[in-house]
Amino acid sequence: MNGAGLRDLIRQPLVVALALIVALLVLGEALSPGFASMQQILRLLIVAALLGIVAAGQNLVILGGREGIDLSVGGVVSLSAIIAGNLMSGSDAGIPMAIVACIAAGALIGLINGIGTTLLRIPPLVMTLGMLGVLQGLLIVIRQGIPSGRAAPGLSQFVTQPFLLGLPGIIWLWIAIGVLMALLLHRTVFGQRIYAIGSNEHAAWMAGVPVKAVRIALFVLSGAFAAIAGICLIGYSGSSFANVGEQYMLPSIIAVVFGGTSLAGGKGGYTGTMAGAVMLTVLQAILTTVNIDESGRQMIFGATLLVLMLFYGRGRAMRA
């Protein structure tokens, strides 16, 4: 391989992310033997899948450009977890209803976000930030009236126990979402339209792309993905607790960035984001493995994130 080829290769975000994942696993194994055992890796992948599913929607919204971002995903995850928990309340019979209701709720929230950002032209950051406040309030209201709910055993099994070829169902679900996202982005008209509006909205509009409809659809999908993650989350943890989804808001954006998708929109894809989600999860797992204070853990985590960001999407220098 010649020098230019190699340089191109290490500039590929996916390659960087995969290399870092391997390096982190080696580091983890060195720090604490057993870290990179098959069982541990499976557990890490389950946690990564939860983040990765939220990041799928985030990725779509960001790809659509115009400062696209969805800060409400954390709120949707929490809401979905509590709705799912209550509709199931420990019985498998409630699973289909829970899935339908949660995805409908997430999609509805996404629809409102989409309408606000396109028809009313509220900047996405502001619209979804306001929506997050509303959802946090809504969660308190819901929590007053009803118990926190319990996951159905079938769902817990799907998320945590081997389902097919030794892999838990949620990992198969994540793989399926990955394949569907790749097909959606690269093999459909809708996918082409996402990249078109993300890289040059005006040109896309001139070419006849229904810009607003596409962007609304992206927010709807983001809400739906966050809702799916919420259902899986209660399957993972058994029951939901206050603001359980908050931990996904900014990490979902970081996973997208680490996957090589530009926050400016129009460039990137979901395969990288999946690697980014695994990388973030492994990094956090290493920090919980090593025996240091919470304070040291956070400082190392923050500093590492900054260093890793240097590999990705740095802005262009000013030129006269």
Q: Which residues within the stretch 271-310 sit at the binding site for other proteins (CB under 8 A)? A: 293-303, 305-306, 309-310
146 near other proteins, rule: CB under 8 A: no
Q: Which is nearer to other proteins, 36 or 256 (CB)?
A: 256
How many residues make contact with other proteins (CB under 8 A)? 52
Compute the least distance from the CB of residue 70 to other proteins, in Å.
Answer: 12
Compute the least distance from the CB of residue 250 to other proteins, in Å.
Answer: 5
Which residue type, as a one-letter code, is found at position 301? F
Compute the least distance from the CB of residue 142 to other proteins, in Å.
Answer: 9
CA distances from 210 to 172, 199, 243 (A): 33, 15, 36
Compute the least distance from the CB of residue 296 to other proteins, in Å.
Answer: 7
Q: Which among 29-37, 125-133, 174-182, 196-204 is the span making contact with other proteins, rule CB under 8 A?
A: 125-133
The answer to whether 227 touches 102, Cβ cutoff 8 Å, is: yes
Beta bridge partners of 162: 168
Binding flags for other proteins, 49-68, as an x/- string (CB under 8 A): ------------------x-
Nearest to residue 266, comparing CAs of 93, 67, 27, 9? 67
Q: Which among 53-61, 152-160, 169-177, 250-258 is the span making contact with other proteins, rule CB under 8 A?
A: 250-258
Q: Which is nearer to other proteins, 53 or 69 (CB)?
A: 69
- Classified as helix, coil or strand, 150 is strand
What six digits make up the tokens of 22? 């391997």
206 near other proteins, rule: CB under 8 A: no
87 near other proteins, rule: CB under 8 A: no
Side-chain-facing half-sphere of 257: CA atoms under 13 Å: 19
Q: Return the residue of 107, 257, 274, 278 that touches other proteins, per CB under 8 A.
A: 257
Nearest to residue 240, comparing CAs of 113, 150, 110? 150
Q: Return the residue of 108, 263, 267, 290 that touches other proteins, per CB under 8 A.
A: 263
Nearest to residue 232, comparing CAs of 46, 92, 71? 46
Cβ neighbours of 116 (radius 10 Å): 20
**Whole-angstrom distance, CA of residue 111 vs CA of residue 90:** 30
Q: Return the residue of 125, 167, 184, 290 that touches other proteins, per CB under 8 A.
A: 125
Q: Which is nearer to other proteins, 126 or 207 (CB)?
A: 126
Written as one string, the DSSP assignment of 155-207 is: HHHHHHSEEETTEEHHHHHHHHHHHHHHHHHHHSHHHHHHHHHHH-HHHHHHT
202 near other proteins, rule: CB under 8 A: no
**Whole-angstrom distance, CA of residue 280 vs CA of residue 301:** 10
Q: Which residues within the stretch 66-85 sit at the binding site for other proteins (CB under 8 A)? A: 67, 69, 71
Q: Which is nearer to other proteins, 7 or 319 (CB)?
A: 319
CA dihedral sign, ordered 252, 255, 259, 262:
positive
Residues near other proteins (CB under 8 A): 67, 69, 71, 116, 120-123, 125-127, 129-138, 140-141, 143-144, 250, 253-254, 257, 263, 293-303, 305-306, 309-310, 313-318, 320
